[in-house]
Amino acid sequence: MEICRTKSDIRTAVKQWRAAGESVGLVPTMGFLHEGHLTLVRAAKEACDRVIVTIFVNPTQFGEAADLDAYPRDEARDFALLEAEGVDAVFCPSVDEMYPADTQTTVVTERLEKMLMGELRPGHFKGVCTVVTKLFNIAQADRAFFGEKDYQQLLVIKTMVRDLDIPIEITGVPTVREVDGLAMSSRNVRLTPDDRKAALILNKALAFADYEVSDGRTASELEEAVRAFIAKEPRAQIESVDVRDAATLEEVTGQITAPVVILLAARFGDVLLIDQRVADPT
């Protein structure tokens, strides 16, 4: 497995593969890998001849410096896991390599950028779109793989690729969970044992919402019911509960008649967790 810290190193590797007619898959991550990430890697291996995993904790998508500083990192462990999966190259650039002085250009999906998580964290999706565009341009991959867990992010990236005619195919991969249902996340290691138990309320709330969606409710009624459900867990500080059109993330008025996505964000201690589920009322 090649470990590339510079753009020119990864470009050299990709150039050789492409010259040999091999297809290239890309899995962007922020490291501290778990089974969720490795599931994306396996999907990429299945679909492409060569697989690149990027590890870059992107400062421009973090609102709070404290959150960025607290983000867990373990490069040696990540490399061992990726080697065992048969990954061809890891691209792990420094912040300076990605953002040289006088970097000025950004990428924004106007409408999606301001919704939901984008409203709570202004600039977050601008940071994501900009870094992902740079990774696409650096890696020149045929396909890229993203988790449905970050549902709005997946939609933002698909929209950006469509709007800017970026020649890459985006594949979404279903959320991978711990056996007890907690969505896997690099942030889970920061939960105290009590908060780790309390966090199970998120997946339970999604199961509850999935059951209730077929009951002729409106989106706002369902949001209220899910909020009340999560509020039964005193350790959960709800940040947002949204029921939106699964295809567009637009608000749903009247009774729910088409698939919706239920998007949850809640803090346990100082750890912000998100989870999602698509529910079909029919």
Query: Residues interacting with ligand AMP, by CB under 6 A?
Result: 29-30, 36-37, 39-40, 146-147, 149-150, 173, 175-176, 183-186
Q: Report, in Å, the least distance between residue 19 CB and ligand AMP.
A: 29
Angle between helices 7-19 and 124-139 (to 10 degrees): 50
Q: Report, in Å, the least distance between residue 6 CB and ligand AMP.
A: 21
Tokens for 249, please give them. Answer: 């993330």
For the chain, the farthest-separated pair of C-alpha atoms sits apart, in whole angstroms, at 58
Which residue number, 4 or 252, has a Cβ lying nearer to ligand AMP?
Answer: 4
Q: Report, in Å, the least distance between residue 165 CB and ligand AMP.
A: 22
Which residue number, 142 or 150, has a Cβ lying nearer to ligand AMP?
Answer: 150
Distances (CA, A) of 242 to 57, 171, 203, 218, 222: 27, 24, 14, 12, 9
Q: Report, in Å, the least distance between residue 209 CB and ligand AMP.
A: 19
CA dist., res. 23 & res. 183, Å (int): 31
Catalytic entry in 14, 30, 32, 37: 37
Which residue number, 19 or 76, has a Cβ lying nearer to ligand AMP?
Answer: 76
Catalytic-residue membership of 37: yes
Which residue number, 152 or 242, has a Cβ lying nearer to ligand AMP?
Answer: 152
Which residue number, 184 or 266, has a Cβ lying nearer to ligand AMP?
Answer: 184
Query: Among all residues, which ones are annotated catalytic?
Result: 37
